[in-house]
């Protein structure tokens, strides 16, 4: 696994955070589950056609550095989606 890959995985997770947070209760949970099932499905499909992915997954061992890169990617993804919310949907009005 290259050093850029955990950042990309984190980025995808970060982009999903608001959808999960805003989908209250069962909807949020369902979104979370569906997103992960889709990722799993995509990986399984890719495994069938790209043997290199299988090799990467077999040799990959999680590490603190991997987690840190993923967290950084997630923060960047979350920042980007928040940014797009403000830019495209305008300033939030106070709800309290």
Q: Which residues bind another protein (CB under 8 A)?
A: 72, 75-76, 78-80, 82-83, 85-88, 90-96
Task: Please name the residue that has the structure tokens 């550095």.
Answer: 65
For another protein, the closer CB: 41 or 79:
79
**What distance in Å separates the CA atoms of residue 67 and residue 61, rounded to the nearest whole number?**
11
Name the minimum Å distance from CB 80 to another protein.
7
Which residue in 70, 42, 47, 71 sits closest to 58, CA to CA? 47
In this complex, which beta carbon is closest to another protein, that of residue 59 or of residue 96?
A: 96
- Within 10 angstroms of residue 74's Cβ, the number of other Cβ atoms is 21
**Rounded CA separation 59/41 (Å):** 20
What is the closest distance, in whole angstroms, from the C-beta atom of residue 8 to another protein in the complex? Answer: 15
Nearer to another protein, 49 or 88 (CB): 88
Give least dist CB 91 to another protein, A.
Answer: 5
């Amino acid at each position: 696994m290259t050093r850029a890959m955990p950042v990309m995985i984190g980025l995808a997770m970060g982009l999903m955070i608001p959808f999960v947070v805003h989908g209250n209760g069962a909807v949020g949970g369902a979104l979370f589950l569906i997103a992960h099932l889709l990722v799993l499905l995509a990986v399984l499909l890719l495994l069938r056609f790209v043997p290199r992915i299988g090799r990467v997954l077999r040799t990959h061992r999680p590490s603190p550095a991997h987690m840190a890169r993923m967290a950084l990617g997630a923060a960047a993804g979350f920042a980007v989606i928040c940014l797009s919310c403000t830019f495209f949907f305008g300033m939030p009005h106070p709800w309290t």
